[in-house]
Amino acid sequence: MTDPYRPTVAAIVPCYNEEAAIGTVVRDLRLALPDAEIYVYDNASTDATVQRAEEAGAIVRSEPRKGKGNVVRRAFADIDADVVVLIDGDDTYDATRAGDLVATLLEGPYDHVLGVRSTVSDSAYRPGHAVGNRLLTGVVGLLFGREVSDMLSGYRAFSRRYVKSFPALSQEFETETEMTVHALRLRLPAAEVVTDFKDRAAGSESKLRTYRDGWRILKLILALARRERPALFHGVIAALVTVAALALGTPVIVDYLHTGEVARFPTAILASAMMIIATVTAVLGYTLDALAHSRQESARLAYLRFPAPGATHPVRDL
């Protein structure tokens, strides 16, 4: 007898003042994912975004707190589906490829499929954004041991177990970085699908502020490094303080070996204090590393409570 189980699919479209594009995005998603539920999360728009989304057949919900991260947190908590597709509502991503992302995720099975942007025009992806993306992606790859091709892409597909184990703590555009690090840190099965990336629809404008959002993303990367890799983070600080202490203290030691006297007591005291600080910082890092390992185990266990993508039967509570 054939098992009638079919994975449920939901598409989440965060929106803020996208009346010019949202209808096209919803219609393209409907063509690509005819059985999916399409949710447009309006983020306090002041134009006709809600009306255009409803006319296209989407389920419209509201998140009044500004910021894409706030929308993602709300949507991931609200929606229960085996596969969740996340795509921006500005029609720059090729929504007709959503079926390919879902199929890749189920065939893997994977927990995270990233839509890697391939520009179809020179103006679609500003050079400054491209350089910033490569730099930030490289930093994340260096810190967390595996690099992705397009860390800041807003086009992704997730398994249920990814969505329900993702903490979603970010508030704005840095949420994509948090998503990437979550997959890297838990070493979740992941894949990439190259998709077209085009100019925004006429009459709409980008909400991304290059320098402000880039700085927020960099701060988040450093904060995640401090929380998720405390031994490395504090070890680097301890090493820098140690080098400074040696630079200050070595001449004092050399003078003492030659003369038998400590001629510069303030410098000697400062160098000694800095060595103590470096030691305490290193010990703190290793202590926090043990706590981080415990948190990662808890996150992994939360992730494992849910079935793999495409599994025919849900995992039962113990």
pLDDT for 213 equals 62
Tally Cβ neighbours within 10 Å of residue 85: 27
Average pLDDT of the chain, as a whole number: 86
Report, as an integer, the average pLDDT of 61-74: 93
Q: Are 5 and 307 in contact (CB under 8 A)?
A: no
User: Among residues 199, 204, 154, which one has the least CA distance to residue 22?
Assistant: 204
Report, as an integer, the average pLDDT of 214-236: 82
Domain definitions of the chain by residue range = 9-228, 230-304
What is the full DSSP assignment across 194-263?
Answer: EEEE-PPPTT------HHHHHHHHHHHHHHHHHHH-HHHHHHHHHHHHHHHHHHHHHHHHHHHHHHSS-S
What digits encode the pLDDT tens for the residues 174-203?
Answer: 889 889 989 988 889 999 999 999 876 666
Residue with tokens 């085009």: 198
**Fold exhibited by the domain 9-228:** Spore Coat Polysaccharide Biosynthesis Protein SpsA; Chain A (3.90.550)
What digits encode the pLDDT tens for the residues 259-276?
Answer: 887 778 889 999 999 999
What digits encode the pLDDT tens for the residues 71-87?
Answer: 999 999 999 999 999 99
- Round to whole Å and give the CA distance between 252 and 211: 45
- Round to whole Å and give the CA distance between 121 and 233: 40
Q: Are 41 and 14 in contact (CB under 8 A)?
A: yes
Q: Confidence band (pLDDT; 50, 70, 90) for 315?
A: very low
